[in-house]
Structure formats: C-alpha cells, structure tokens
Amino acid sequence: MRKNISISLLLVATLGFASPVWAQKKQFTMTEATNGMGTTLATKGIKNASWQPGTNKFWYLDKKDGADVWTTIQFSAKGKTPEAVKGEVMPGSYPGKVNGVPSFKWIDKDNAYCVNGKDVLIGTISDGKFSWSLYTTLPENAENITVDKSKRIAFTIDNNLWMYDKEKVQVSHETNKDIVCGKSVHRDEFGIDRGIFFSPKGNYLAYYRMDQTMVKDYPIVKWDTTPAMLDIIKYPMAGGTSHEVTLCVYNPAIGKTVTMQTGEKNKDHYLTAVTWSPDEQFIYIAILNRDQNHLMLNKYNAATGEKVKTLFEEKDARYVHPTHSLTFLPGRENEFIWWSERDGYDHLYVYNTEGSLLRRLTRGKWVVNEIVGYDKEEQSLIITAAKESPLEKHIYSIGIKDEWITRIDKGAGVHSASCSENGKYVLDVYNGPATPKNTVIRSTEGKWDYDVLKSPDPLADYDRPEIKNVTLTAADGVTPLYGKLILPTNFDKNKKYPVIVYLYNGPNVQLIKNSFPESGNLWYEYLAQHGYVVFTMDGRGSWNRGLLFEQATFRKLGEVEMKDQMKGVEYLKSLPYVDAGRMGVHGWSYGGFMTTSLMLKYPDVFKVGVAGGPVLDWKMYEVMYTERYMDNPQDNPKGYAETSLMDKVKNLKGKLLLIHGTNDNTVVWQHSINFLKKCVDEGVQADYFVYPGYEHNVRGKDRVHLMQKITDYFDATLKP
C-alpha cells in the first residue's frame, strides 16, 4: 500500500498537479455544523451599513491597511446612471476606552451618536472626519437606553423610567417592584419590542406602565450559587389573571405625566401599535380585547389623555393579530398606512386621521413583509413582500396614489433592504440557493445597480449533500406544503437509510426558504455526511402563507400540523431508499411540542424523538400567545385536553429524550418536570437532559454540546 502511494505521489509531482488527485472534500465538524454559519463559515458582507440623512451617501465599515475605516459611497445623479464616488472617513478619536470602531446612528445630516458601554458619544462630521465627544455617562444599572434625535435620552433603572436632558430626571416613581415603567409589555407579543416612545420632535416621552401585582408569582431557581437562589418572575398563564397596561406621556418642559384613558373599568386588554401623530398632538393606540378577536384603533389627546375617537374596528371570528404601528409618510400628516389581514393576507391600507379608508395599496394572495422607504417625488412606497413565492422575499416599489407595483431587485432568493431618505436608492442584501450573499445598491426606479460585495462560497471545500425541493399536498387534500429532502453524501439509491425529520410547524415561523445554504441548516448536512436522510417541511399553522393557512390550527394546536407532517412521512415511506423502521424526529420549543405529540399520538411511526424546550400542557403557557390560538381553557376545555400530553405518556413506544434549560422563563421547566412525574406514575421510561443556567435556548459554545448530545442519541437508536 505504501509503495502505491509513493508511485502516485511521484506521478503527481511529475505531471505538475497542485494537489493529490484523490484529495477529498472536507467533512463538517460538529462545531462548524452548529455555529459555523455565524463564525468561521459566515458569508462575507459589509458591517454597520447606513444611509446618511439628507444625502445620497451610503456608509459602511471596512478595513484599510489593517485598520477599521468608514467607507462611503456618494451617488451623484448626473445622467441616467448615477456616478458612484468611493471614499473613506477616518473614525476620529473617541473619549474613554473603545474596543474597535463603534457603530453609530444618525441624528441628522451632520451629527450621529453611539453608545459605548454606558457612555453616550456625540459625533459631528466635518472635512471628512468625525469629531467625537462624551455627551453623558449613564448609571451602570441603566437599561433600555433610547437616544432620541433631540439628544434626549430615556432609560430604565430597575422598574422605573429616567430621562437625561442636560441632567438626569426620574420620570416614574413606582415603589412596588411589580409595577414596571418603560419596558416591553405583553411578553413581546403583537410586535411589541420596546416600552419607550419619543414624540417625532422629541418634545414628549410616551411609555408603557405595566402593573403585574395581580399576576401570580412563578419561581425560577438560579443554580450558579450555593445555596441556589430563587428568582421570582410574573408569568401569566392561559386562563389566569394577566397584567394591566396603560400608556403614559411625560412632558419634560413642565415635569408632568398624564395617562391615556384607555379604559379604567376594563384593563384586561392589550395596548398595541403605539404611534405618535407627526404634530405631536395625538397618540394612536390599537386596543385588542382579551379574546383577541376585536380591535379598536383609538386616537387620544396626548396633552390630556382623553380619548378623541375610535377611528375604526377590526373583528375576526378567530383572532386579529396586529404586529405593526401606523406609518405616517413625510408631507402626508393627515394620512397613515395601516397593516391588516382582513382579506386573508397582510396588506397595506391608507386611512386619514378621521378614520376613513382612502384606498388600499396592495392586494393578492401574498403577504407584505416590511415597509422600507418612501419616495416623495415619485409618490411611491418601497416594501418587501412574498409576492413571487412564499419561499422568497423581494423588494418592490408601489404607488401611493395609484395601485401599481414594480419589482426593484434581481435574482432568486431572500432579499432584505434599507432605503435612502429620499427613496431613490436601496441597499439590497440577498442570498439564494446558489448565492451565498450579494450586497448591491440599486436605484428604486430599477434602471441600474452598483455591486458593493459578492461573497465567495464559504462551503465550497466541503462535501455537500444533494438537496431536493419537495411539494406535497396537506391533509385537507388541497393546500400545497413545501419541504426539503437532504440525501446522504455518497448516496446509493440501492441502500436503505435512516431518516431524521426536523420540524417546528408553529405560528410566526417559517423554516423552508430559497436561501443559502440551500439545506437551511448545516447540521442537516452533517447528518447527511454521516449516513442520514433528513426531511423538513412547513405544515399548516406556520408563517408567511396567509390567515387560512395559519388559522387551520385554531383551538386545536398540534392536531392539523401532525396530519400534515404525516403526509411527509407517507412521502418518505414511498422512497425506496428510506428505511421506515429507522425514523427519528426532532424539534425545539413548538417543535418540541410537535415531536412529543408525534411520539405519543403516532407511536408506531418514529423509533426515536428528541424534544427540546417542549410545551407539554398549553394551560401552563403564557396568556397572550396561547389564548390567541387556543382561546382560554374555560371556553375550550376539549381543545386543551386533546392537546395536553400529560395524560398520553402511556402511549410511548419508541425512545424519547427531553431536553430543557433549567432557567427557561418562556416554556417553564415545570412542563418537563410534570411530564417526567407522569412517566414515573405510568411506569414509562423516558430519557432526560438539562442545561443548567440556560433559558429557552442553548447558545454559543454550549450549543455544540447540545447538538452532539442529540446526534449521539439518534446514532445510538437508528444506526445498525
């Protein structure tokens, strides 16, 4: 054998080949398969991109001679194709200790700010250079730091709201720790991701005030000290008492706070879509009832808190799900854009501030994803949408006055966008099955584009599996379902392979996209390199397909989704190279619920399942999410009983591994603990693993341990 190798090397050297002819492509390590796409195998792109207000200048961070430098691209609109002029702006000096070049946000054309630790820095650009100065240093325990263009700063300390305007001022004075001001409410549902709302000119500060005193305490044990410590949180479970939220407005000129009169008699509702009017006189709040089937868009006087009027109402027999605030366009202060699913798909409608519907902007059996920008001159809106396919996202220009739509981007795949202030240019960052990442600046008229960066394929040297796009028909016999089949590397159609099904199949999530990598996950490809067929599919209930597709699961979470996933199983069993006796299933969170449901309700199908952070009894999950899809337990006892997995433990036939983070405050640990107690009571064997100190997900280097644990469990059960 050594002699043959020596002869081969001699031939290679003689023929002048650069590498041995038998060189094979690389296999993924578990570290690469788990975290590689965010680290060593990440696609190349630009950093800290932004459009400078009031200009046609685009900024991003690059390196020059090994040092970080702000690179600018200035577009001059001379002729049909604007000239692109590239330049550099040196970072300038920063007061205090700064690691690298911090990213910044624009205040106006000539000024920007950045937050470095608790230091807020103000930068002024002049003669191609930023001059930075220390604006203020916030307290060490400051959180939710929000810097306004007025240079006023709002932040929270513990449960109270503060503001900096030449000096630090305490805005709220709550002495009960369970009354929280200035933070996100309703457990981040309804598109809510903050609790601080500066008015357009920065003259006033609106904020959420959340009273949780009536919500039951829930214990989260912290295990990193001896003895362990108890962290009491407020966790409103389905059917239980929820917190009460109001919206307050602080006037710093007089130091006075008023509360919007959103309902003193009935506070068991949700305050969403908080939006200031451009003239700062009014605040709009979408109030959603506890049943989540009746929404009122109300207008309030910001100075007095009095309700001015209800502009309009939206109702649905199942649920209304608002996730966007109002969009007022420059120069159109008496009109706003409202997002609605009233025709079954998320589309845009124009209303005036008296509540009259003026026109709709988009229509069709597809959803709008984002509003990106506005071209006042052309009277057009820049959006992204799933118009071409629910598997892709593209950039469009649509008419404000007339109903028209034009696609701006090029290339298949998933496009994201940011727009210049005047709406004439858009940064298009996209990827597709054969496109790792392209960064392009385009004119919104669609007449030209400028390539900023094309990423090489970071996976080119690896042994990649064949991936097949699959379209099946749902259990209703009509609805198309999209999935992906990943075949083992060195695939032999005459062999029989074990299969792993990965799934989520819950609301607001979409797994299957025409994106890079085409498989959707390098761990799938790792499994394929180790002899597995991998299958994943979005069944009814998942996102980006419209209300009919999503609401099919109403009041019976898990039932319709399992029937759709079983259509995937039927497909897999029809393939001659699939070993139906060696099938595994894995998912996390809602996918963990689906995994456990399949193992207990279809016990003869899967030989093994791994369920991470699973919901096992919907009565123990949060009010806002659960009651939207299941109603409350008092009104839907049958639905809750059928979807609960606690009383179905005795059905288990295959191997089941449950995994949970001990500090999970999303799907609380009690789900798994109660399930294990049922296993003991029923004499059923199940396997279990916990991640100490982790909340709902295991991230970073420890995620490698998690994925190795899951893979080993499948290997032990499915490998001959």
Catalytic residue among 589, 597, 617, 671: 589
Distance between CA atoms of residues 294 and 305, nearest Å: 22
CB neighbour list of residue 696: distance below 8 Å, 6 or more residues apart: 589, 613, 661, 664, 665, 666, 667
- Radius of gyration in angstroms for the set of CA atoms belonging to the chain, rounded to a whole number: 28
Strands 425-432 and 368-375: unpaired
Residues 501, 583 contacting (CB under 8 angstroms): yes
CB neighbour list of residue 79: distance below 8 Å, 6 or more residues apart: none
Residues 499, 578 contacting (CB under 8 angstroms): yes
Residue whose C-alpha is closest to residue 325's, from 154, 194, 203, 163: 194
Q: How far is CA 452 from the centre of its chain?
A: 26
Known catalytic membership, residue 172: no
Using alpha carbons only, give the angle 499, 501, 502 rounded to the nearest 5 degrees. Answer: 140
CB neighbour list of residue 191: distance below 8 Å, 6 or more residues apart: 272, 273, 322, 323, 324, 325
DSSP 592-605: HHHHHHHHHHSTTT
Distance between CA atoms of residues 47 and 61, nearest Å: 5
Q: Exposed, middle or buried by CB within 10 Å (0-12, 13-18, 19+), for 356?
A: exposed
Residue whose C-alpha is closest to residue 709's, from 580, 562, 588: 588
Catalytic residue among 243, 664, 671, 672: 664
Of all helices (H) and strands (E), which one includes residue 293?
A: none
Known catalytic membership, residue 589: yes
Start-to-end CA span in the chain (Å)? 30
Known catalytic membership, residue 696: yes
Catalytic residue among 294, 530, 696, 705: 696
Distance between CA atoms of residues 343 and 341, nearest Å: 6
Of all helices (H) and strands (E), which one includes residue 123?
A: strand 119-126
Residues 493, 576 contacting (CB under 8 angstroms): yes
Tell me the HSE value of 368 on the side-chain side, using a 13 A CA sphere.
Answer: 26
Distance between CA atoms of residues 530 and 190, nearest Å: 41
Residues with catalytic function = 589, 664, 696
